Structure 1
């Protein structure tokens, strides 16, 4: 058996093993035992704020923390004890992932809300006790978090039956609502019927029970008149030190697009209004830090002055002083001042919202104000208490709406509409018809002109999903404008604690990457290009308005310089849908830089691509849709899009349960390959017998499946999933041409490839959907010498001169493309083989990229009548190219940094 070279990751893991003693004294004995008592430096586990400064408000948060292999083990009682120090918030910790030796790879830490400090340091030790407890009894779960008691029924229509604060029912009957419409909105004459649905909870799972964080998962459907529709999964998060509940709302569209239109989709709660109407208030967060606020019955602006104390109190949201002191004309005329019962802030487009109110149903709406982008927060209540409800990514997800109804009655309704009923009905139909493409030949012809793979029935939206995040507070009174503004910021940009890139990198997780280093001219050159590309995509989201309920988080695939537009309407050139690992590019870029804007872009992409671009039920379950005009419109359904590698980094950084669900959904998705022909547009050999196995490529198919198995093995320690990965590795290595076979018949029952594998071929796609990143990790976790040798040989050979290919394979099979970005495979082989000459060859291949050889690339301004709005356009931009070039640059820098300057000087790129 051969021994692989000592990788830089393994060196870091062993070198940092025991120095963690300084920050984790409670684990010193276990660490010493696992490392032989060696001592080496490691930085402290300092927690810092993603945005670089403490937020104005903190309602609790959770993060994942990695550890070097062998340094930390779960105690016998399976309880982890960490602390942030004296006077810091309470913290709850649990295992998140394991190394193959059983030591902890990731731990998760929930931190109580409260007054935020500039940062904290994670240490071993008992944390101050939290105030969250969970009690389950027949028919309900009761969560107590500080002064608030939340009652959650285990069945029925309500997610939360009541929230009691200081003995008062402040909120009740929290539930989901949906409006179904039986057809599209009539364009001229005609009518449609609408049907209201409410949530039907079928099960509640207590996932965590405190003392700092409690998590309840509620599963069910929307129900009406005997029909169950739109299955949902809702998680409720309760933190010590906070009077809020975080709501993560996920649903699957399971209707028939031709007749099941979603007219409205929302989360609603009732608020007891016990104060007099002049002491009841409604507030909306507006633009920036702004707050709009009014009373149900105003006493300001009247013809008669009630007295300054009364006006000041009402504007501030306090109870008015005793009415006996009010100016008599106003006191006697209060009954004639209209009571405004209904309020609405509708954001129907990302650049505009309107604010209206009316006295009651059946009366006209009155325009109150308008603006561009609202933060997404509403309050309804009075001096005795009320409810604040916020919707994350509010204007980015338009059309959305916040509404208060019946505020002048004893019970008000507060609703966050994830899809506003004031907007046209959600239309999930295909954007096109067959248009004559009713034969295989015509479909191929269409594919050749628009790059979209069309086949009737394969462009359905049924089975796609969407996750939304909300925050709901129960308050003891009407919060001040400043407090509501801080709450709105917490909704729009949740306070998040993170680790520095160096601290994550020291643990050897996520393969080949390193923190940004501009210490040499050549490094500065590449880092500069990386920054230009990343900044441009952040800019593109805004200047091309990549927003909307189903769109936000995705980017476009290809650019049309003639129109100065992305090709949003041209078949397979439109929405990117993770093509060529855009998600991985953004996540590795965040890991390297720690930039908050990159984290948020990558987070939005993870929320989108794992939900919208993937089927969660039906015949395509477990597969994603290739890039297209609609996220589901291309008829190519592929595991390369549903790839768990695109969610895994976010999961371990945040311990996000929903993303954990999405990865777990994929564990058996390879079985679907037997039922869905993902290669049906390829020419089939005439008369070929039907096989019980599926033709599957090593990169785009198997390489996309292993990420889910790896994540499950890490999360649970269950070696079944390691064994499934190893079965695939061994069977590839056993083929005559090994990785050069490119693919082989696959047996989903055993996870192995069959057949001789005696025909060599190349595919430039085989290395661009995460398999390079997965192999970089897997080969540090499992010892499979034959597979390691096969992979390294493939990496070394892919970009080799033609004569070397012929000498090895007997002929040149062709098919090698993207030589500049696939040069990262050359860099990998060079690093593993300690071959400097090969490393220099890899750099020469990488330097062939237009991004480097054509000199500095910078956006240029285009304005005037040629464009809808002024643009900063970057010539030659392509998401395929940007993602793969970025990933190649990152891996090159991590593996071949010591040869970079020599190579760059030889290429004339630096002096």
Structure 2
């Protein structure tokens, strides 16, 4: 291992801390902070101090060589030292910290800005929030005490708030029915069954407890849908955050999911007229009622009574009610059950009834519910909520038996009152029984179909839930603040300049410069493209349990729709690095709306678009009408390159788990050969696989690089270096295109055929960005030379290519997107002629967008079912007037345009005049 590899002793010391979950804690008694330049200013994502705050976890990057692995940290908010829990996320090759994670608990006063500083040495750790017992764990925040069993079907046995029982018997539900097309179909009920309970992190500020299991049939032994439930808590907090993930392992032809939920009981002791139900709408409105209402009666109980009930305060004693009401309370109906159903993204309904066996009354309707409710009394209760509730429809919140001593709350992630999930493939194969027919079909619908490959087996879904045990019924304003916190969780972030100075995520981006007049047009175009897709999510209603977070691939200007039903043109599934475009644009701008869209996409593409179990695990599925429908199961979709941003900025454990699963993903390529339909052969030798240098190796390198910087495992560094060196040793370097890799060592066989193999897709799924980072942390002259050759020659004039390689490369696509490779070579070699050439390639727009514009036109009914904004040069499309325009919008082209524009602004110097 050369001098640039990790210092094993210092790095492994840090990784041992990471693996053990031992936190570093900063406090008022901490050691002296490090020098001023290392202090990092942190602000709230979106710029506003949270109206409701219950704790936050975030990641902060550090320049190489400046923060030792043994460092602690101090956090100051508005000049005051604040207790913070810290731990390492990643290391530089010299063993210094690259990313640190931090947790801040609830504060009496939330600061406008914070300042984070490394300490010379970490202070002593405080007491953990978690205590282990033989059959259960106790999580004690100082406000809440939670008993968590180690086995059985109950996940949360008891939760009390300062000694007052608040909820109990928390468990997961799964309802499964048979084929909905058949009469008399069965309905089965399953309940969570715990297999393992792990304290994933424990400390004095933050704790994470992870429960794993599956759902077991109530009257049988069958188990379905393995789940992972992470329980998060902060010191002095009355809130629990639950991150729920499940994997689909059922038979999509026989098992139709009718409901997935978290259910718990909550004791009720107050008088029926002092029991309160609340639901929050996404627009900030609140549905507020009491189980037994005292308003609107024929007789008035008194203004003080009515006002107290409306505001959720304790009503006066019944003896102070007007006598004609006090003596007839038993005749006022008590509504014990409430249901909020969000059946689609534009409509919810709230209904209620007195008890089982009686009819439901329509109580309220609206467009979008925030997915947050409350049940309790003036003496306290539970606020409960599902994040991205209406966006992940169909969703449902139920309150039952609120008129009894033990009410029940159910948070349906898939609404029980909605139609069941139907995950069956959408066509019968249409005779595509062999590769010849499948390739013919690809030429007409762009769908890569193969029998048995369009299965949902192994796809996953992650949801976020919050439970807050409060001391009194919140006011409507307080409840709205809580709902906003649940739907838009506070996050501390460093600004783009600070992120860039840390040197993370490579050199292919730079902070936006609002004062640079020469780049104003490019900045405006970048903003237009993002704003268009953000707005298109809303305009096209790209929402739903399995769909939220993704965007569509290509537009159909004739129908004024995205090609949602045309083979490979429908859901994008990360094609040509849509995820990277959003994340680099966030790094460049720090915009709140960009972060949230990128976050939602990362959640979706890492869960739904990837097979987590089964023969295809852990590969992803290429773009298709159904997210899992395409037969191209590839690393380019499941790549860690798309996940790293969210992990490092938020320290999210679920994302870290998904990234770890990709470390040995290349082994699946032995059985699922990516290019099997175009001649790529399976290596017959044990322990070898045919690996493309672009889409395959780029994803492998991203997984190994990320795991190496997270753990310091020297074996991964060796495999990564072996793969780099053996690519560089090929007679044609990256132009060899594909090689046989020994999977354990990472070393490629040397190709002696002399053949050139080049794909326009090789560098557009994160390879360019990962290679930029590799040259930072694993410098290799031979690898750098091979990569720069590829960068210089892909778009080079034919004669230059012939001189360098002995033969031309042929007609290659995506020249505009590859301009960023030209720019990188110019930057790395300090060659202004290459930088100018990059701008020229970008402006020409070959294989991309030659004439980007920022115009939208209106499509008016009856040309479509509603009026639309559509990109194109015509101001209005009116079917009655006979006007038309061709949008022909491609997400591929927009993502590559955006990535290339940002890279050129960072690498290619001032743009040439006609590049605007």
Q: TM-score range by the shorter chain?
A: over 0.9
Q: In the aligned structure 1, how far is the partner of 2:123 from the partner of 2:739?
A: 53
* Preserved CA contact (<8 Å) 1:3 1:785: no
> Are 2:365 and 1:370 aligned?
yes
Determine the structure 1 residue equivalent to 2:747: 752
Q: In the aligned structure 2, how far is the partner of 1:28 from the partner of 1:873?
A: 58
Measured after TM superposition, the shift of residue 809 of structure 1 is: 1.6
* Preserved CA contact (<8 Å) 1:274 1:384: no
Determine the structure 2 residue equivalent to 1:787: 783
> Are 2:737 and 1:737 aligned?
no
> Are 2:879 and 1:886 aligned?
no
1:871 corresponds to which of 859, 868, 871: 868
Measured after TM superposition, the shift of residue 869 of structure 1 is: 2.0
Label 1:128 to 1:501 Cα distance change in 2 as closer, same or farther (>3 A): farther
Residues 538-577 of structure 1 mapped to structure 2, 5 A cutoff:
538-577=534-573
Q: In the aligned structure 1, how far is the partner of 2:92 from the partner of 2:421?
A: 45
Label 1:287 to 1:784 Cα distance change in 2 as closer, same or farther (>3 A): closer
Measured after TM superposition, the shift of residue 846 of structure 1 is: 1.0
What's the secondary structure of 2:467's corresponding residue? strand
> Are 2:866 and 1:854 aligned?
no
What's the secondary structure of 2:580's corresponding residue? helix
* Preserved CA contact (<8 Å) 2:849 2:894: no
Label 1:486 to 1:613 Cα distance change in 2 as closer, same or farther (>3 A): same
Determine the structure 2 residue equivalent to 1:484: 479
Measured after TM superposition, the shift of residue 677 of structure 1 is: 2.2
Determine the structure 2 residue equivalent to 1:16: none
Determine the structure 2 residue equivalent to 1:35: none
* Preserved CA contact (<8 Å) 2:173 2:262: yes
Could you list the per-position Cα deviations for residues 568-592 of structure 1 after superposition, in whole angstroms to 9, with x for gaps in the alignment?
0000000000001110000000000
Q: In the aligned structure 2, how far is the partner of 1:658 from the partner of 1:100?
A: 25
Could you list the per-position Cα deviations for residues 837-870 of structure 1 after superposition, in whole angstroms to 9, with x for gaps in the alignment?
1111111111112887536432222222112222
**Bigger CA drift: 511-520 or 360-369?**
511-520
Measured after TM superposition, the shift of residue 362 of structure 1 is: 1.2
Measured after TM superposition, the shift of residue 164 of structure 1 is: 1.1
Could you list the per-position Cα deviations for residues 323-353 of structure 1 after superposition, in whole angstroms to 9, with x for gaps in the alignment?
1111111111111111111101100100000
Q: In the aligned structure 2, how far is the partner of 1:308 from the partner of 1:422?
A: 39
Q: In the aligned structure 1, how far is the partner of 2:623 from the partner of 2:747?
A: 29
Label 1:26 to 1:206 Cα distance change in 2 as closer, same or farther (>3 A): closer
What's the secondary structure of 1:822's corresponding residue? helix
Measured after TM superposition, the shift of residue 241 of structure 1 is: 3.5
Q: In the aligned structure 1, how far is the partner of 2:66 from the partner of 2:245?
A: 37
Residues 62-73 of structure 1 mapped to structure 2, 5 A cutoff:
62-73=57-68
Measured after TM superposition, the shift of residue 674 of structure 1 is: 1.0
Determine the structure 1 residue equivalent to 2:211: 218
Residues 234-383 of structure 1 mapped to structure 2, 5 A cutoff:
234-383=229-378
Q: How many residue pairs get matched?
A: 870
2:116 corresponds to which of 110, 119, 122: 122
Q: Give unpaired runs (5+ residues) of structure 1.
A: 5-23, 32-40
> Are 2:91 and 1:98 aligned?
yes
* Preserved CA contact (<8 Å) 1:74 1:103: yes
* Preserved CA contact (<8 Å) 1:69 1:507: yes
TM-score scaled by structure 2?
0.92
> Are 2:656 and 1:660 aligned?
yes
Measured after TM superposition, the shift of residue 90 of structure 1 is: 2.5
> Are 2:647 and 1:647 aligned?
no
Q: Give unpaired runs (5+ residues) of structure 2.
A: 5-27, 872-886
What's the secondary structure of 1:432's corresponding residue? coil
Measured after TM superposition, the shift of residue 704 of structure 1 is: 1.0
Determine the structure 2 residue equivalent to 1:590: 586
Measured after TM superposition, the shift of residue 684 of structure 1 is: 6.2
Could you list the per-position Cα deviations for residues 371-415 of structure 1 after superposition, in whole angstroms to 9, with x for gaps in the alignment?
001111011122332111100001100000011011111111111
Label 1:204 to 1:236 Cα distance change in 2 as closer, same or farther (>3 A): same
> Are 2:829 and 1:833 aligned?
yes
Determine the structure 2 residue equivalent to 1:462: 457
What's the secondary structure of 2:835's corresponding residue? helix
Label 1:788 to 1:25 Cα distance change in 2 as closer, same or farther (>3 A): farther
Label 1:25 to 1:345 Cα distance change in 2 as closer, same or farther (>3 A): closer
What's the secondary structure of 1:123's corresponding residue? strand
Q: In the aligned structure 1, how far is the partner of 2:683 from the partner of 2:55?
A: 60
Could you list the per-position Cα deviations for residues 289-325 of structure 1 after superposition, in whole angstroms to 9, with x for gaps in the alignment?
1111111111111111111111111111122211111
Q: In the aligned structure 1, how far is the partner of 2:713 from the partner of 2:46?
A: 37
Determine the structure 1 residue equivalent to 2:691: 696
Determine the structure 2 residue equivalent to 1:796: 792
Measured after TM superposition, the shift of residue 546 of structure 1 is: 0.4
Measured after TM superposition, the shift of residue 216 of structure 1 is: 0.5
What's the secondary structure of 2:431's corresponding residue? coil
> Are 2:497 and 1:502 aligned?
yes
Determine the structure 2 residue equivalent to 1:36: none
Measured after TM superposition, the shift of residue 128 of structure 1 is: 12
**Bigger CA drift: 577-586 or 200-209?**
200-209
What's the secondary structure of 1:820's corresponding residue? helix
Q: In the aligned structure 2, how far is the partner of 1:415 from the partner of 1:748?
A: 47
> Are 2:46 and 1:51 aligned?
yes
2:706 corresponds to which of 711, 723, 733: 711
* Preserved CA contact (<8 Å) 1:339 1:408: yes
Q: In the aligned structure 1, how far is the partner of 2:65 from the partner of 2:556?
A: 51
**Bigger CA drift: 874-883 or 788-797?**
874-883
Determine the structure 1 residue equivalent to 2:11: none
* Preserved CA contact (<8 Å) 2:447 2:567: yes
Label 1:440 to 1:794 Cα distance change in 2 as closer, same or farther (>3 A): closer
* Preserved CA contact (<8 Å) 2:737 2:758: yes
Q: What RMSD, in angstroms, separates the aligned Cα atoms of the two structures?
A: 2.3
Q: In the aligned structure 2, how far is the partner of 1:467 from the partner of 1:122?
A: 31
Measured after TM superposition, the shift of residue 3 of structure 1 is: 13
Determine the structure 1 residue equivalent to 2:604: 608
Q: In the aligned structure 2, how far is the partner of 1:788 from the partner of 1:281?
A: 66
Label 1:157 to 1:852 Cα distance change in 2 as closer, same or farther (>3 A): closer
> Are 2:422 and 1:410 aligned?
no
Could you list the per-position Cα deviations for residues 757-788 of structure 1 after superposition, in whole angstroms to 9, with x for gaps in the alignment?
52112211011010100000010101211111
What's the secondary structure of 1:610's corresponding residue? helix
